[in-house]
């Protein structure tokens, strides 16, 4: 048989195998098949936190087809990957997972409860993440996140914790780890909840990490730098990197942290590099489609950097792009716009919800005496930030914004409608979330939640052994698939 035919036969068997496997209710051990010989030496795992198809499709529509009459859609780099799978995300306690249990599933192949990182549901037994096997095999390990590096998703690749909120403990585990490159957001509570413990950054330095928090030093890092902990010089909410929509030209981005990571991790034994677009989730929680879309596009740009690397090692590089769950119940289509979309409205947005809070709303509140606040004062900034022209709104829309403004200003009379407040604003600044929702709805984008949802997420794969990532499987299978492509003997 010719080599091509052999490959075709193997691929076909895999497809049949995957179809057969998908029929079984409990998907566990069957995905340890290695497609063909050899090893994926350079493995990229990109995780869009909170990213499912609506976040991805919105970025595609935004990029190429903003008018509802223009139905041309150009794919993102990663949504053109040759292999697509769908991944279930439920955890041991709920159909709607959080990032801790979802990260545990991907990193260890085991289900646990929401909030738990790489431990069993009883929070006594520790699970060994895939990165430890990878490190033992002599490959380097890199971890990047746009949110804090001790947040649940990145933590799942180096830590074990009964609670994702044990930020200090997780930061210390990062500091004591022997992985090669950490980059992106800061370490939340690095000196403990009360700031009275030894800084995890100091512990990291003592453990041989080069700590970098300036752009010039970051840019000058060269291969052979040893273990690196690189934190963005510019931080935004809760120590995360800025939203892409708020990032100023020249400020370091997820693309820079990915490019530098490749430079530092590249070695003859190979590497595993997990890169998280963490703020896709945060923006989706806040129902801010503009911030979501710009962060998905930034993740895509980082993936393109990995693709450039793959061109140099086409047979040995694998790139997988997935989400850990969907956030916000985002969809394309809203009752008020029926079959129409107007993504040109999203293009008018110039700030994330966080930047509007920080740069407009908080200073206004601080500088305005009680009782003197007027919505009219903010209308120019509202137009500049979200493209909303108040005068053109319906009476109902104007009333909703006025109501939210009053609540943001602490009007006690408005606060008496408490039972509806969570559904209306989800714990965000009422005015800000009402503005993003209203702009999103007018663009034809709907939201159902301020939390995560239980829909599956896609997994796109390109490169060595890409074919085993096709089909419909569980997030725990992602672990076994990744282990098999790297020839790791895992439990
Ligand atoms: Zn989330």
- Cα(41) to centroid of ligand 1, in Å? 31
pLDDT band at 298 (very low <50, low <70, confident <90, very high): very high
Residue 399 CA to ligand 1 centre (angstroms): 30
* Alpha-carbon span 181 to 186, nearest angstrom: 14
| Residue 28 tokens, joined | 């566990």
For residues 159-165, give the mean pLDDT.
98
* Number of neighbours of residue 54 by Cβ within 10 angstroms: 24
d(CA 330, CA 348): 20
Determine the pLDDT at residue 64.
Answer: 81
pLDDT tens digit string along 173-187? Answer: 999 999 999 999 999
From ligand 1's centre to the CA of 261, what distance in Å? 25
What is the chain's alpha carbon radius of gyration, rounded to the nearest angstrom?
A: 23
Q: Beta strand 471-474 with 83-88: parallel, antiparallel or unpaired? A: parallel
How far is ligand 1, taken at its centre, from the CA of residue 379, in Å? 31
CA distance 335 to 352: 24
The residues placing their C-beta within 5 Å of ligand 1, an ion, are 281
3-state secondary structure 93-162: CCCCCCHHHHHHHHHHCCCCCCCCECECCCCCCECCCHHHHHHHCCCEEEEEECCCCCCHHHHCCCCCEC
Segment 231-259 shows an average pLDDT of 97
Cα of 324 to ligand 1 centre, how many Å? 9
Distance 280 CA to ligand 1 centre (A): 9
pLDDT at residue 417 is higher than 60:
no
Q: What is the pLDDT of residue 411?
A: 72
164-221 pLDDT, tens digit per residue, is 999 999 999 999 999 999 999 999 999 999 999 999 999 999 999 999 999 999 999 9
On whether the CB atoms of residues 294 and 284 are closer than 8 A, the answer is no
Whole-number Å distance between alpha carbons of 109 and 128: 10
DSSP 361: I
**Mean pLDDT, residues 75-90:** 96
> Distances from the Cα of 50 to the Cαs of 98, 152, 280, 409, in angstroms?
9, 12, 6, 31
């Amino acid at each position: 048989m010719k080599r091509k035919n052999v490959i075709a036969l193997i691929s076909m068997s895999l497809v049949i195998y995957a179809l057969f496997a998908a029929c079984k209710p409990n998907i566990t051990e069957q995905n340890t098949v290695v497609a063909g010989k050899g090893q994926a030496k350079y493995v990229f795992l990109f995780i869009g936190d909170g990213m499912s198809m609506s976040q991805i499709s919105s970025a595609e529509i935004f990029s190429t087809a903003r008018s509802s009459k223009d139905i041309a859609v150009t794919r993102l780099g990663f949504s053109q990957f040759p292999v697509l799978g769908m991944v279930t995300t439920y955890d041991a306690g709920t159909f709607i997972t959080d990032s801790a249990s979802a990260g545990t599933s991907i990193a260890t192949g085991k289900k646990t409860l929401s909030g738990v990182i790489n431990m069993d549901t009883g929070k006594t037994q520790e699970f060994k993440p895939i990165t430890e096997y990878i490190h033992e095999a002599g490959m380097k390990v890199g971890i990047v996140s746009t949110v804090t590096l001790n947040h649940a998703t990145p933590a799942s690749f180096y830590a074990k914790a009964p609670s994702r909120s044990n930020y200090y403990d997780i930061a210390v585990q990062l500091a004591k780890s022997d992985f090669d490159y950490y980059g992106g957001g800061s370490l939340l509570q690095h000196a403990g909840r009360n700031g009275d413990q030894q800084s995890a950054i100091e512990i990291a330095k003592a453990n041989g990490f080069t700590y970098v928090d300036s752009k010039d030093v970051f840019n000058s890092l060269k291969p052979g730098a040893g273990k690196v902990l690189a934190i963005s010089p510019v931080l935004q909410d809760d120590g995360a990197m800025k939203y892409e929509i708020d990032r100023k030209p020249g400020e370091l981005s997820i693309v820079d942290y990915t490019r530098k990571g490749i430079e530092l991790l590249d070695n003859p034994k190979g590497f595993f590099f997990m890169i998280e677009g963490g703020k896709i989730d945060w923006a989706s929680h806040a129902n801010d489609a503009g911030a979501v879309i710009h962060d998905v596009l930034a993740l895509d740009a980082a993936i393109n950097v990995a693709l450039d690397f793959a061109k140099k090692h086409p047979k040995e590089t694998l790139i997988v792009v997935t989400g850990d769950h969907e956030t916000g119940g985002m969809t394309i289509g809203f009752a008020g716009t029926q079959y129409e979309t107007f993504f040109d409205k999203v293009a008018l947005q110039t700030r994330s919800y966080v930047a509007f809070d920080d740069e407009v709303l908080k200073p206004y509140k601080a500088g305005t005496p009680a009782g003197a606040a007027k919505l009219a004062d903010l209308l120019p900034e509202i137009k500049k930030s979200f493209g909303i022209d108040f005068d053109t709104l319906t009476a109902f829309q104007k009333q909703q914004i006025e109501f939210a403004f009053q609540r943001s200003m602490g009007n006690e009379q408005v606060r008496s409608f408490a039972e509806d407040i969570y559904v209306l604003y989800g714990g965000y600044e009422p005015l800000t979330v009402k503005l993003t929702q209203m702009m999103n709805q007018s663009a034809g984008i709907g939201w159902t939640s301020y939390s995560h949802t239980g829909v599956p997420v896609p997994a796109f794969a390109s490169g060595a052994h890409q074919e085993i990532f096709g089909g419909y499987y569980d997030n725990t299978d992602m672990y076994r698939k990744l282990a098999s492509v790297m020839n790791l003997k895992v439990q």
